[in-house]
Amino acid sequence: MLCEMCGKQSEFTKTISVEGTTLKVCKECSRFGESSEGKGGGSKKGTAAAPSRTVVAERLQARERRMKTRSIYSEEETTDLIPEYPQAIREARMARDWKQEDLAAKLNERVSVIAKLENGSMRPSDTLLKKLEHELGVKLTEKISVVKSEGGRSQGKVLTLGDMIKKK
Ligand SMILES: [Zn+2]
Protein backbone atom coordinates (compact mmCIF):
# COMPACT_ATOMS: atom_id res chain seq x y z
CA MET A 1 0.00 0.00 0.00
CA LEU A 2 1.07 3.55 -0.55
CA CYS A 3 1.07 5.98 2.31
CA GLU A 4 -1.38 8.69 1.40
CA MET A 5 0.67 11.29 3.17
CA CYS A 6 4.29 10.75 2.16
CA GLY A 7 3.64 8.48 -0.79
CA LYS A 8 6.07 5.80 0.32
CA GLN A 9 5.36 2.15 -0.15
CA SER A 10 4.42 0.64 3.16
CA GLU A 11 3.21 -2.79 4.16
CA PHE A 12 1.64 -1.33 7.22
CA THR A 13 -0.89 1.41 6.94
CA LYS A 14 -2.91 3.00 9.60
CA THR A 15 -6.05 5.06 9.24
CA ILE A 16 -5.72 8.38 10.90
CA SER A 17 -7.56 11.63 10.72
CA VAL A 18 -5.67 14.81 10.03
CA GLU A 19 -7.60 18.03 10.28
CA GLY A 20 -10.83 16.34 9.31
CA THR A 21 -9.35 14.28 6.49
CA THR A 22 -9.11 10.53 6.79
CA LEU A 23 -5.87 9.15 5.43
CA LYS A 24 -4.25 5.75 5.23
CA VAL A 25 -0.67 6.38 6.20
CA CYS A 26 2.53 4.56 7.00
CA LYS A 27 3.85 4.02 10.47
CA GLU A 28 6.06 7.06 10.31
CA CYS A 29 3.28 9.38 9.25
CA SER A 30 0.70 7.97 11.59
CA ARG A 31 2.06 10.15 14.36
CA PHE A 32 0.94 13.24 12.48
CA GLY A 33 -2.70 12.59 13.07
CA GLU A 34 -5.19 11.17 15.47
CA SER A 35 -5.91 7.53 15.20
CA SER A 36 -9.42 7.08 13.97
CA GLU A 37 -9.48 3.44 14.93
CA GLY A 38 -9.85 2.64 18.59
CA LYS A 39 -8.84 4.61 21.60
CA GLY A 40 -6.90 7.82 21.62
CA GLY A 41 -3.89 6.41 23.44
CA GLY A 42 -3.37 9.46 25.56
CA SER A 43 0.04 8.92 27.09
CA LYS A 44 2.67 8.69 24.40
CA LYS A 45 6.37 8.75 24.98
CA GLY A 46 7.70 12.19 25.56
CA THR A 47 10.31 11.80 22.83
CA ALA A 48 7.81 11.78 19.99
CA ALA A 49 6.60 15.29 20.39
CA ALA A 50 3.37 16.17 18.65
CA PRO A 51 4.17 17.66 15.26
CA SER A 52 3.28 21.21 14.60
CA ARG A 53 0.47 22.09 12.24
CA THR A 54 3.05 23.39 9.80
CA VAL A 55 4.66 20.00 9.44
CA VAL A 56 1.31 18.43 8.72
CA ALA A 57 0.44 21.13 6.24
CA GLU A 58 3.76 20.67 4.47
CA ARG A 59 3.23 16.96 4.18
CA LEU A 60 -0.22 17.47 2.75
CA GLN A 61 1.09 20.01 0.28
CA ALA A 62 3.80 17.65 -0.88
CA ARG A 63 1.16 15.02 -1.39
CA GLU A 64 -0.95 17.39 -3.45
CA ARG A 65 2.02 18.30 -5.63
CA ARG A 66 2.70 14.64 -6.27
CA MET A 67 -0.87 14.04 -7.37
CA LYS A 68 -0.67 16.99 -9.77
CA THR A 69 2.60 16.06 -11.40
CA ARG A 70 1.17 12.64 -12.16
CA SER A 71 -0.53 14.11 -15.20
CA ILE A 72 2.27 15.72 -17.15
CA TYR A 73 0.12 17.15 -19.88
CA SER A 74 -2.87 19.29 -19.30
CA GLU A 75 -5.31 20.50 -21.86
CA GLU A 76 -6.42 24.04 -22.11
CA GLU A 77 -9.28 25.18 -24.22
CA THR A 78 -9.09 28.42 -26.04
CA THR A 79 -10.87 30.13 -28.90
CA ASP A 80 -8.95 31.26 -31.90
CA LEU A 81 -9.60 32.93 -35.20
CA ILE A 82 -10.31 30.36 -37.87
CA PRO A 83 -7.51 30.17 -40.45
CA GLU A 84 -9.95 30.57 -43.34
CA TYR A 85 -11.44 33.81 -42.00
CA PRO A 86 -10.65 35.80 -45.19
CA GLN A 87 -12.87 33.55 -47.32
CA ALA A 88 -15.50 33.33 -44.58
CA ILE A 89 -15.81 37.10 -44.39
CA ARG A 90 -15.86 37.48 -48.15
CA GLU A 91 -18.44 34.76 -48.67
CA ALA A 92 -20.72 36.03 -45.93
CA ARG A 93 -20.47 39.54 -47.32
CA MET A 94 -21.24 38.44 -50.88
CA ALA A 95 -24.12 36.29 -49.67
CA ARG A 96 -25.66 39.48 -48.36
CA ASP A 97 -24.93 41.22 -51.61
CA TRP A 98 -22.79 43.80 -49.88
CA LYS A 99 -19.83 45.54 -51.39
CA GLN A 100 -16.69 45.97 -49.32
CA GLU A 101 -17.79 49.59 -48.94
CA ASP A 102 -21.12 48.49 -47.45
CA LEU A 103 -19.51 46.24 -44.89
CA ALA A 104 -16.95 48.92 -44.05
CA ALA A 105 -19.73 51.41 -43.42
CA LYS A 106 -21.60 49.01 -41.15
CA LEU A 107 -18.49 48.32 -39.15
CA ASN A 108 -17.41 51.93 -39.15
CA GLU A 109 -14.11 50.90 -40.68
CA ARG A 110 -12.23 51.93 -43.74
CA VAL A 111 -12.65 49.93 -46.96
CA SER A 112 -8.95 49.17 -46.94
CA VAL A 113 -9.43 47.33 -43.64
CA ILE A 114 -12.10 45.10 -45.19
CA ALA A 115 -9.85 44.47 -48.18
CA LYS A 116 -6.98 43.48 -45.93
CA LEU A 117 -9.18 41.18 -43.90
CA GLU A 118 -10.43 39.49 -47.04
CA ASN A 119 -7.00 38.94 -48.49
CA GLY A 120 -5.72 37.68 -45.17
CA SER A 121 -3.06 40.34 -44.70
CA MET A 122 -4.70 41.58 -41.49
CA ARG A 123 -6.16 39.79 -38.52
CA PRO A 124 -9.17 41.48 -36.98
CA SER A 125 -8.90 42.71 -33.42
CA ASP A 126 -11.17 41.09 -30.85
CA THR A 127 -13.55 44.03 -31.05
CA LEU A 128 -13.65 43.99 -34.82
CA LEU A 129 -14.05 40.22 -34.77
CA LYS A 130 -17.17 40.53 -32.62
CA LYS A 131 -18.60 43.18 -34.92
CA LEU A 132 -17.86 41.09 -38.01
CA GLU A 133 -19.53 38.02 -36.52
CA HIS A 134 -22.51 40.11 -35.55
CA GLU A 135 -22.95 41.95 -38.89
CA LEU A 136 -22.27 38.94 -41.09
CA GLY A 137 -23.93 36.36 -38.86
CA VAL A 138 -21.00 33.99 -39.16
CA LYS A 139 -18.70 32.33 -36.67
CA LEU A 140 -15.10 33.31 -37.25
CA THR A 141 -13.63 31.59 -34.23
CA GLU A 142 -13.23 27.98 -33.24
CA LYS A 143 -12.44 26.17 -30.03
CA ILE A 144 -9.10 24.51 -29.90
CA SER A 145 -7.43 22.48 -27.19
CA VAL A 146 -3.85 23.30 -26.52
CA VAL A 147 -1.93 20.53 -24.85
CA LYS A 148 0.55 22.01 -22.48
CA SER A 149 3.55 20.35 -21.01
CA GLU A 150 3.89 21.03 -17.32
CA GLY A 151 7.21 21.71 -15.74
CA GLY A 152 8.98 21.56 -19.07
CA ARG A 153 10.19 18.06 -18.40
CA SER A 154 11.37 16.35 -21.52
CA GLN A 155 9.77 13.01 -22.06
CA GLY A 156 12.33 12.09 -24.68
CA LYS A 157 9.80 12.80 -27.36
CA VAL A 158 9.44 15.87 -29.47
CA LEU A 159 5.87 16.96 -29.84
CA THR A 160 4.81 17.90 -33.32
CA LEU A 161 2.48 20.78 -33.96
CA GLY A 162 -0.24 18.24 -34.63
CA ASP A 163 0.24 16.87 -31.13
CA MET A 164 0.16 20.29 -29.60
CA ILE A 165 -3.00 21.55 -31.19
CA LYS A 166 -5.95 19.27 -31.42
CA LYS A 167 -8.94 20.54 -33.28
CA LYS A 168 -12.31 19.86 -31.76
ZN1 LIG B 1 4.07 8.04 5.28
Let me know if residue 95 belongs to a domain: yes
Weakest mean pLDDT among 14-28, 71-85, 101-115, 139-153? 139-153
- Please give the tally of structural domains in the chain: 3
Let me know if residue 149 belongs to a domain: yes
The alpha carbon of 71 and the centre of ligand 1 are apart by a number of angstroms equal to: 22
- Residues with a beta carbon under 5 angstroms from ion ligand 1: 3, 5-6, 25-26, 29
Query: What pLDDT does 159 receive?
Result: 53
The alpha carbon of 17 and the centre of ligand 1 are apart by a number of angstroms equal to: 13
Please write the tens of the pLDDT for every residue from 89-98.
Answer: 999 999 999 9
Q: What is the mean pLDDT of residues 63-84?
A: 73
DSSP string, the chain: -B-TTT--B-S--EEEEETTEEEEE-TTGGGGSEESSS-------TTSPPPPHHHHHHHHHHHHHHHHHTS-EEEEEEEEE-TTHHHHHHHHHHHTT--HHHHHHHHT--HHHHHHHHTTSSPPPHHHHHHHHHHHT---EEEEEEEEESTT---S-PPPHHHHEEE-
Same domain for 151 and 95? no
Please write the tens of the pLDDT for every residue from 114-158.
Answer: 999 999 999 999 999 999 999 999 999 988 777 766 554 444 455
Range of the domain at 149: 73-78+144-167
- Is the pLDDT reported for residue 52 higher than 90? no
Let me know if residue 153 belongs to a domain: yes
Same domain for 132 and 91? yes
Weakest mean pLDDT among 43-47, 59-63, 96-100? 43-47
CATH at 98: 1.10.260.40
Same domain for 1 and 64? yes
